[in-house]
Amino acid sequence: MKQVTSLFFCISNMTLALLLCACDAKTSSETATASAPAQAAESVYSVGTDASYAPFEYLNNKHEVQGFDVDVLTAVAAKEGLKLRFVNTPWEGIFVSLAQGDRDILASAITITDERKQSVDFSDPYFEARQLIAIPAGEKGIRNFHDLKSRRVAVQSGTTGDEVVQKLKGRTSPDIKRFESMPLALKELESGGVDAVVGDNGVVTNYVENNPGSGIAMIEDAGSFAPEYYGFAVHKGNAVLLAKLNAGLAAIRADGRYEAIYRKYFGGAR
């Protein structure tokens, strides 16, 4: 009886050990499975973009963000093995979203300025732009930027267009009308609510070309507007991500991919 009892306890102990091993293995497997999505999520960079700035960023019929900036950054990411998730983010809060960590990259036709460099780090420039003046077709009294001194001017709030008009008219001038997006500013011009709009040439030109009945004409004033350069923004001090963006930009310029994207949206060569 003693031998049988011993054998019984031996078998019981072995069974318990096997069950414990099985449970440990299952727990480890479940832990690995549970942590896998989290690890994958961490490798996806959230990109903030104000999708109301065609052709640089806008929503298609499926409410997906697309545009020149999207294509350029996607090509850069492909070169560097980065995964991206584009998130439509209102311009007014776009820099706050980066500072708070809600976004990892900003790609929204952002002009590189000394003031912005104080709070974010910029990639190498990927696009050159200038300010453009939009006026009603047939308007004879506005020939250059300085003619806007006594006129009602619409801008997109917080943009470089807003900044240059402030320098001309004063920050608190009642003749500056600010809007959340450039299309809204241009609609105000169409309705006669303002005499002119100042904004980036790529966006104004795109709007006029796609709205032939708008009755809007455009004025270039190279003497008043210095060239501006767009860059992708990352959190201040994120040198690793910044290096990847710059390496990817250099790569797509070298292999012709950047030029192909440029022609897709703007037609001619740079």
pLDDT in tens, 102-140: 999 999 999 999 999 999 999 999 999 999 999 999 999
pLDDT score of 31: 37
d(CA 60, CA 52): 11
pLDDT score of 268: 64
pLDDT score of 267: 84
CA atoms within 13 A on the CB side of 25: 6
d(CA 233, CA 210): 29
Torsions phi, psi for 187 (to 5 deg)? -65, -35
Domain spanning 42-128+229-266: CATH superfamily: Periplasmic binding protein-like II (3.40.190.10)
Judged against a pLDDT cut of 80, whether residue 264 lies above it is answered with yes
Strands (DSSP E) contained in 44-92 are: 44-49, 52-53, 57-59, 65-66, 83-88
**Spatial strand order in the sheet of 52-53:** 52-53, 57-59, 65-66
pLDDT in tens, 140-192: 999 999 999 999 999 999 999 999 999 999 999 999 999 999 999 999 999 99
Band (270; pLDDT cuts 50, 70, 90): low
pLDDT score of 112: 97
d(CA 228, CA 269): 18
User: 204: closest CA among 174, 168, 159?
Assistant: 159
C-beta neighbour count of 260 within 10 angstroms: 12
Judged against a pLDDT cut of 80, whether residue 29 lies above it is answered with no
Whole-prediction pTM value? Answer: 0.78
Judged against a pLDDT cut of 60, whether residue 24 lies above it is answered with no
Q: Are 232 and 126 in contact (CB under 8 A)?
A: yes
d(CA 243, CA 80): 10
**Spatial strand order in the sheet of 120-122:** 83-88, 44-49, 105-106, 233-235, 120-122
pLDDT in tens, 209-245: 999 999 999 999 999 999 999 999 999 999 999 999 9
User: 187: closest CA among 210, 216, 159?
Assistant: 216
Judged against a pLDDT cut of 90, whether residue 37 lies above it is answered with no
User: 48: closest CA among 112, 113, 114, 92?
Assistant: 92
pLDDT score of 207: 95
Band (42; pLDDT cuts 50, 70, 90): low
Mean pLDDT of 242-255: 98
d(CA 130, CA 202): 8
pLDDT score of 43: 85
Judged against a pLDDT cut of 50, whether residue 6 lies above it is answered with no
CA distances in angstroms from 211 to 4, 186, 208, listed in the order given:
94, 11, 5
Judged against a pLDDT cut of 80, whether residue 98 lies above it is answered with yes
d(CA 126, CA 238): 19
Domain positions in the chain are 42-128+229-266, 131-219
User: Does CATH place domain 131-219 in 3.30.9.60?
Assistant: no
Judged against a pLDDT cut of 90, whether residue 247 lies above it is answered with yes
Mean pLDDT of all residues in the chain? 87
- Give the percent of the chain with pLDDT over 70: 83
